[in-house]
């Protein structure tokens, strides 16, 4: 049968060869596996088949078969293999009931983790309670390491020398603010000592056994002072020669001021307003509070991902959670900073004008009070201009100018 197959193959080859000569180059060759034109372009192939298509050589091609092209090499073989799509990971389908249960579990675990690892503290003066996850030692280490990095890398070569007039001026204003802060801490320390003296007098009446038990019990239940994170800080000031209109204070008492700020705010009262605000962030431990809030926001986002798209959840959390929290912290730092500058002997009536000017210099955007991390300058000015707030600051300022110590003004 082999001679029969070879004869049939040769006959079909010769017939197709002469057919292509007769029909011309525009002729196409039909085949049950595909439709291929004279340019050897594949126009149709089922994606689920695997065929061996035999296609005649084009007329204008060069015959390199040494005379045997009509029988031996006039076919081109193409093997069409279907493309394998990569397997994609598919989430196990959850019903609405299961999604609700998962969301409750995420929120509950976040709340439990925060309460277990966090600590409830009271912010000086405002008496607002907040949860912090960072320890006081850890917060100081973060500020110190970041300050060291700025000195060695970020602002290397831009730091003003110690005897530069701008550096001396900022250092003196910062020193006055810190002294005002320390005067505000005295009342709590004195009252604590007085309480200890009264307790000792009462204990003298009791027998030795009850005295020992009372002291042990009091030591176990001893509460950390709200100002413990401010005690023993090593305050440092760094002035950077840069056009940036900004200043900040890192945890641990590291104050950084840019010369661009000094070009727009030239009086000592204006500079004291900015530095007092930045120190207010450290007094309220806003960095540690942001860490706890970031954990909560992440847990809420994971819960909402079960019902909404990622883009919608991120936008909502940014507008409704992150930025409102940040604006409230800024207003709180304004309030504390106002009292600090008054205790340092600087006129607090200058502060509202400073924040209005700061908003103009920074170039506030539309809907600043909703789309930004900082309130508008007008809102900050109005908050400090309230009669009760300004009157409290003026009382502290008059006592400081009269030479009387202002003990515990924000406690």
- Beta-bridged to residue 236, according to DSSP, are 254
Residue 176 to residue 245: CA distance in whole angstroms = 22
Q: How far is CA 90 from the centre of its chain?
A: 30
Which pLDDT score is estimated for 111? 65
DSSP reduced 3-state for 207: coil
| Structure tokens, 302 | 């994971």
**For helices 136-149 and 286-304, angle between their N-to-C axes, nearest 10 degrees:** 100
**Contact 65/72 with Cβ under 8 angstroms?**
yes
Which pLDDT score is estimated for 387? 94
Which pLDDT score is estimated for 370? 84
Residue 35 to residue 56: CA distance in whole angstroms = 12
Q: Where are the domains of the chain?
A: 28-84, 102-186+230-401
Residue 214 to residue 38: CA distance in whole angstroms = 104
**Contact 410/124 with Cβ under 8 angstroms?**
yes
Q: Which residues contact 301 (CB under 8 A, 6 or more apart)?
A: 313, 314, 317
Catalytic residue (one of 270, 278, 332, 392): 278
Say whether pTM exceeds 0.85.
no
Tracing tokens 């727009």 back to the chain, one arrives at 264
Span 137-179, pLDDT tens digits: 889 999 999 999 999 999 999 999 999 999 999 999 999 999 9
Other CB atoms within 10 Å distance of the CB of residue 402: 7
Span 169-192, pLDDT tens digits: 999 999 999 999 988 766 444 333
| Structure tokens, 390 | 């300004």
DSSP reduced 3-state for 182: helix
End-to-end CA distance of the chain: 110
Active site residue 392: no
**Contact 251/142 with Cβ under 8 angstroms?**
yes
Tracing tokens 């029909």 back to the chain, one arrives at 23
What are the distances in angstroms from CA 335 to CA 354, 370, 386?
A: 14, 20, 11
Which pLDDT score is estimated for 28? 43
| Structure tokens, 169 | 């001026």
| Structure tokens, 199 | 């307790």
What are the distances in angstroms from CA 353 to CA 288, 376, 381?
A: 30, 13, 7
Which pLDDT score is estimated for 81? 56
- Beta-bridged to residue 131, according to DSSP, are 120
SS3 per residue for 213-247: HHHHHHHHCCCCCCCHHHCCCCCEEEEECCCCCCE
DSSP symbol at 164: S
Residue 138 to residue 133: CA distance in whole angstroms = 10
Which pLDDT score is estimated for 392? 93
Nearest 5°: CA angle at 393, between 411 and 191? 20
DSSP reduced 3-state for 121: strand
Which pLDDT score is estimated for 27? 46
The residue among 110, 29, 155 whose CA lies nearest residue 303 is 110
Residue 76 to residue 69: CA distance in whole angstroms = 11
Q: How far is CA 45 from the centre of its chain?
A: 52
10-residue averages of pLDDT along the chain (411 residues): 67 66 47 44 45 45 45 50 57 61 67 67 87 87 94 94 95 94 62 33 46 48 61 91 95 95 95 96 93 84 81 88 94 95 95 94 80 92 95 93 60 42
Helix (H) or strand (E) holding 398: helix 387-401
Which pLDDT score is estimated for 116? 57
Which pLDDT score is estimated for 368? 80
């Amino acid at each position: 049968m082999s001679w029969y197959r070879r004869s049939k193959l040769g006959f079909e080859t010769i017939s197709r060869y002469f057919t292509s000569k007769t029909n011309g180059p525009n002729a196409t060759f039909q085949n049950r596996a595909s439709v291929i034109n004279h340019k050897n372009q594949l126009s149709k192939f089922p994606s689920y088949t695997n065929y061996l298509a035999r296609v005649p050589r084009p007329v204008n091609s060069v015959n390199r078969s040494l005379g045997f092209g009509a029988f031996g090499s006039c076919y081109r073989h193409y093997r069409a293999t279907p493309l394998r799509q990569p397997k994609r990971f598919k989430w196990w389908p959850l019903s609405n009931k299961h999604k609700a249960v998962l969301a409750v579990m995420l929120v509950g675990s976040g709340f439990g983790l925060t309460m277990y690892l966090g600590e409830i503290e009271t912010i000086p003066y405002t008496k607002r309670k907040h949860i912090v996850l960072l320890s006081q030692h850890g917060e100081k280490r973060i500020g110190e390491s970041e300050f060291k990095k700025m000195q060695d890398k970020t602002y290397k070569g831009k730091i003003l020398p110690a005897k530069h007039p701008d550096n001396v001026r900022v250092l003196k204003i910062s020193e006055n603010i810190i002294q005002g802060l320390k005067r505000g801490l005295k009342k709590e320390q004195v009252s604590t000592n007085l309480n200890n003296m009264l307790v000792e007098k009462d204990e003298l009446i009791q027998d030795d056994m009850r005295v020992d038990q009372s002291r042990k019990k009091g030591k176990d239940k001893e509460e950390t002072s709200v100002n413990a994170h401010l005690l023993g800080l090593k305050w440092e000031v760094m002035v950077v020669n840069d056009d940036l209109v900004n200043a900040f204070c890192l945890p641990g008492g590291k104050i950084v001021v840019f010369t661009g700020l000094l070009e727009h705010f030239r009086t000592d009262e204006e500079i004291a307003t900015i530095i007092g605000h930045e120190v207010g962030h450290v007094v309220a431990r806003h960095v540690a509070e942001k860490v706890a809030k970031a954990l909560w926001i992440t847990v809420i986002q994971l819960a909402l991902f079960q019902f909404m798209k990622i883009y919608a959840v991120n936008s909502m959390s940014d507008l409704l959670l992150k930025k409102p929290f940040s604006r409230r912290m800024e207003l709180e730092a304004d309030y504390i900073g106002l009292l600090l500058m008054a205790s340092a002997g600087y006129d607090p009536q200058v502060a509202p004008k400073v924040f209005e000017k700061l908003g103009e210099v920074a170039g506030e955007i539309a809907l600043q009070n909703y789309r930004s991390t900082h309130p508008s300058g007008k809102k900050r000015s109005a908050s400090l201009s309230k009669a009760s707030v300004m009157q409290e600051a003026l009382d502290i300022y008059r006592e400081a100018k009269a030479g009387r110590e202002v003990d515990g003004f924000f406690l």
